[in-house]
Amino acid sequence: MIRLLRDWLARRTSTQLASALAVLAALALTGSLVLTGQAVRMDQRQQAALSALDDYAAMVSKLGVETDFNPSELTAGDAAYLSAWLGAFQSGPGRDAGSLEETCRTGRGGAGVRYIRASVGKPAGLAALETAPRERLPRLGDNVWRVKLARGELCPGRTVEAVVVRRTVGSLNIIVGRVVDPTGRALGWAVLAVALTGAVILISGLAAAAFARRRLTLAITGVSQALDRAAVGDFSVRAPEVGVAPELTELTVQANRTLDRLEELLSWLRDSADQLAHDFRTPLARATARMERLAETGDPDERSRLGLEAAHDLKALSRAMNEAMALREGEAWLFEEVRLDDLAASVAELYEPLAEARGAAIAVETPDGPVAVLGVRSLLQRAAANLADNAVKFSPDGGTVTIRAFLIDGKPSLSVGDQGPGLDPRMLSDAALRTASAEAGGRESHGLGLTFVAAVLRRHGAEMTIDDAAPGTIVTAQFSR
């Protein structure tokens, strides 16, 4: 049930909800108005009934005092007299009730009505009191009735309501009553005030809803325009983050941050792809050339040499492909804490037997505390392994490969140094790295795999430097955080 309601609510727009609230408020106001009206009306009737009972009591006491009036012997003349007397009594000066004439003119209540009928003779007073439709009001007292007097019966111009007391004293039927004040002017003002309040609530509610909606729509339009542009490859547009709708600031900031990251990632992928394409094409071109020579030559030694070299080229190609795939895999933002000191130790453990077999040693230097970066673990592992692999490969007999994890000004760094032949200083620029592997001919060179390492480090916002360690080379990755 609650779920249904929630589902239903979820499908309504804010404007619809605001309108519904306004309508509900108006309904509630109307309801309270009706209830108030009824209470006021009841109160008016009660007042009229009390006055009528007063009148009746006064009349009965009068009857009692003037004992000459034996009810059983009351004549029509007596009745007429009593009626006239009561009329004067009810409308006389000193009473706050208006006269009949005033009641009929203004519609306000208070005027007295009466009807007295004796067992003999002609009844006196307003005959309509006996014939008009009536309804008992037991809550106001015994024999208290509400009588509806149609137009012309009491007042020539309007229908009035009267509350009357009907009693029988001896042979005398007495009906004494008062015209009920028609709920009064106060209620009119109340109605007006409530209606105006309702209107103000309704209008301001709708206006606020419309304003809020417009503001949200504007902010969302900003975000969606930025996303639309991004969808067609233009990452220059950003949604305004502040000054539109405070509710959406977080969303806008988040959307912009995502766009920033996407832009950064895309440009990184583009750069890496350019550089890796080179790693693809070089062995491909070489293998193609060798295959062509293989087809032409008849010398069996030459043929087998070319075949082996081509197989080597294919291996390089498959390596480049694996690295490209690895970059693709690491593209996800699965950044986690990676301890460079642990990484240095495990890379050293991995390559130790290989280094020993080549007559070299591996030394690990790490500080006492942790050296941690946020990164893609598998990519950092690959990069570190690539560097260590190269260093071991080019270490001379008895040389030492040094793997260090350290902090410079709080920035984590990892370096791999060897005592090998080193790189030509002319090739120590980033751009020259790309050609390093190509220049080295058939032999695997120090440059191979560095493209990949550079791409991985760029992905982590790290800077790669290659320095001459005299003798040897030291490759350092310095992370920004």
Partner 1 sequence: MTMDLETESAEQAFAAMTAMFDGRRALLLEDDPDLSEHVADRLLKAGFEAVDRVDSGEAALQACASGAYDVLILDRLTKGLDGLETLKRLRASGGPCADAPALMLTALGGERQKVEGLLGGADDYLAKPVGDEELLARIGCQIRRTARHARPAGADILNGPFRLSPGARTLKLELESGVRLIDLSPLEFAIVHELMTARGQPVTKTMLWDRCWVEWKFLPENFVNIIDARISALRRRLKEQAPELGEDLHPLIVSARSQSLIFRDLDR
Q: Which residues bind partner 1 (CB under 8 A)?
A: 319, 322, 325-326, 328-329, 332, 346, 349-351, 353-354, 356-357, 377-378, 381-382, 385, 389
Question: How many other CB atoms are found less than 10 A from the CB of residue 180?
Answer: 23
The pair phi, psi for residue 127, each rounded to 5°, is -65, -25
Minimum CB distance to partner 1, residue 214 (Å):
44
- Considering beta carbons, is residue 185 or 328 the nearer one to partner 1? 328
- Considering beta carbons, is residue 357 or 470 the nearer one to partner 1? 357
- Considering beta carbons, is residue 144 or 326 the nearer one to partner 1? 326
- Considering beta carbons, is residue 167 or 312 the nearer one to partner 1? 312
Beta-ladder partners of 339: 372
The four Cα atoms 93, 98, 104, 109 give a dihedral, to 10 degrees, of -140
Minimum CB distance to partner 1, residue 218 (Å):
40
How many Å apart are CA 455 and CA 176, to the nearest integer? 107
- Considering beta carbons, is residue 175 or 362 the nearer one to partner 1? 362
- Contact 205/21 with Cβ under 8 angstroms? yes
Minimum CB distance to partner 1, residue 378 (Å):
4
- Contact 48/209 with Cβ under 8 angstroms? no
- Considering beta carbons, is residue 202 or 340 the nearer one to partner 1? 340
Minimum CB distance to partner 1, residue 353 (Å):
4
Omega before 156 within 30 of 0, i.e. cis = no
Beta-ladder partners of 465: 476
Query: Which among 161, 177, 181 is positioned nearest to 126, based on CA atoms?
Result: 177
How many Å apart are CA 385 and CA 402, to the nearest integer? 13
How many Å apart are CA 77 and CA 122, to the nearest integer? 8
Minimum CB distance to partner 1, residue 8 (Å):
37
Q: How far apart are the first and last CA of the chain?
A: 52
Minimum CB distance to partner 1, residue 329 (Å):
5
DSSP conformation class of 381: H
Minimum CB distance to partner 1, residue 392 (Å):
9
- State the Cα angle at 314 between 311 and 315, rounded to 5°: 90
- Considering beta carbons, is residue 303 or 319 the nearer one to partner 1? 319
